[in-house]
Amino acid sequence: MEKSKLNLCGLIAEFFGTMLLVVFGAGIASKADTLWAASIAFGLVLMALIVTLGPVSGGHFNPAVSIGLLISKKIDLKNFLLYVVVQFLGAIAGGALLLLFFKDGNAIGANGLNAFLQASTNHSDTGFMLIALLVELIATFMFVLTIIMTVNSEKNSSKAFIIIPLALTLALMLAGPFTGGSANPARSFGTMIFADSFKHVWIVIVGPVLGAVLAGFTSLILLKHNKKNEQAQSEAH
């Protein structure tokens, strides 16, 4: 996930990578019987995409990831804007393919939000939506921060194709009971646009965006601290 010059191949890779993440990740998850199975499915699909398309585009496939990498200065603004556009287009294309396959927009895009918001008569929809928003923020923060710190670590960057999918799996397992698990605005938009839950799509856009922004700025502090420690250790030797 390194900063690179703008290239058509990278944009194409982000488009098809995000589309495939939706088709295989959301497609399998929609038929999974348990949360952990759906979460693992997304993690495995992301692992395959990082290995195959990551060397071409950096392997974002997620606007939240791109936001975090923009703030941490691993991608420039021009690349960021174009990446986000093709990620959303790829996700919508993936959602359209799933709709063609399953014939039911709610089956592929429910995201758990409707069930969550209607789960209790003791809470207002506003209160439940705020909980869902906070959960998505926390899950995405954890996921994006893991990515940034991993790709900036000489020790761990070679293991990114394992660490990052595991982080996504954990993030989805955390958010799953509340929102169905997103941590990816494009992925959720691309499926929810065909579902009744689209009225709640702002939750899985705003939450991950805020989480990614927080992760980006947190990483700047951590990376600066790590650099000072490395310099101090170097001077000591």
Arithmetic mean of pLDDT, 177-184: 87
Model confidence over 158-173: pLDDT tens digits?
999 999 999 999 999 9
- The answer to whether residue 212 sits within a structural domain is yes
Model confidence over 182-219: pLDDT tens digits?
899 999 999 888 877 777 889 999 999 999 999 999 99
Q: What is the pLDDT of residue 42?
A: 93
Comparing CA positions, the residue from 231, 228, 223, 79 lying closest to residue 152 is 223
Task: Name the pLDDT band for 71 (thresholds 50, 70, 90).
Answer: very high
- The answer to whether residue 184 sits within a structural domain is yes
> Residue 33 belongs to what domain range?
8-236
Global confidence as pTM: 0.89
Rounded Cα distance, 51 and 164, in Å: 11
Q: What is the pLDDT of residue 120?
A: 45
SS (HEC) of 28-84: HHHHCCCHHHHHHHHHHHHHHHHHHHHHHHCCCCCHHHHHHHHHCCCCCHHHHHHHH
- The answer to whether residue 2 sits within a structural domain is no
Model confidence over 11-53: pLDDT tens digits?
999 999 999 999 999 888 877 778 888 899 999 999 999 999 9
Q: Is the pLDDT of residue 118 over 60?
A: no
Number of domains into which the chain is organized? 1
Say what the alpha-carbon torsion angle 120, 105, 48, 138 is, to the nearest 10 degrees: -30
- The answer to whether residue 221 sits within a structural domain is yes
Provide the residue type at 5 as one letter: K
Q: Is the pLDDT of residue 96 over 60?
A: yes
Q: What is the pLDDT of residue 237?
A: 59
Rounded Cα distance, 9 and 147, in Å: 22
Q: What is the pLDDT of residue 122?
A: 47
- The answer to whether residue 194 sits within a structural domain is yes
Instruction: State both tokens at 189.
Output: 């938009």
Q: What is the pLDDT of residue 171?
A: 95
- The answer to whether residue 185 sits within a structural domain is yes
Q: What is the pLDDT of residue 165?
A: 96
Model confidence over 126-160: pLDDT tens digits?
777 888 899 999 999 999 999 999 999 888 889 99
Rounded Cα distance, 55 and 63, in Å: 18
Count of helix runs (H) and strand runs (E) in the chain: 11, 0
Q: What is the pLDDT of residue 121?
A: 43
- The answer to whether residue 168 sits within a structural domain is yes
Task: Name the pLDDT band for 177 (thresholds 50, 70, 90).
Answer: confident
CATH of the domain at 170: 1.20.1080.10
- The answer to whether residue 3 sits within a structural domain is no
Q: What is the pLDDT of residue 151?
A: 94
Greater model confidence, 163 or 105: 163
Rounded Cα distance, 155 and 136, in Å: 29
Q: What is the pLDDT of residue 18?
A: 97
Q: What is the pLDDT of residue 211?
A: 98
- C-alpha separations of 142 from 90, 138, 160, 226 in Å: 24, 6, 15, 18
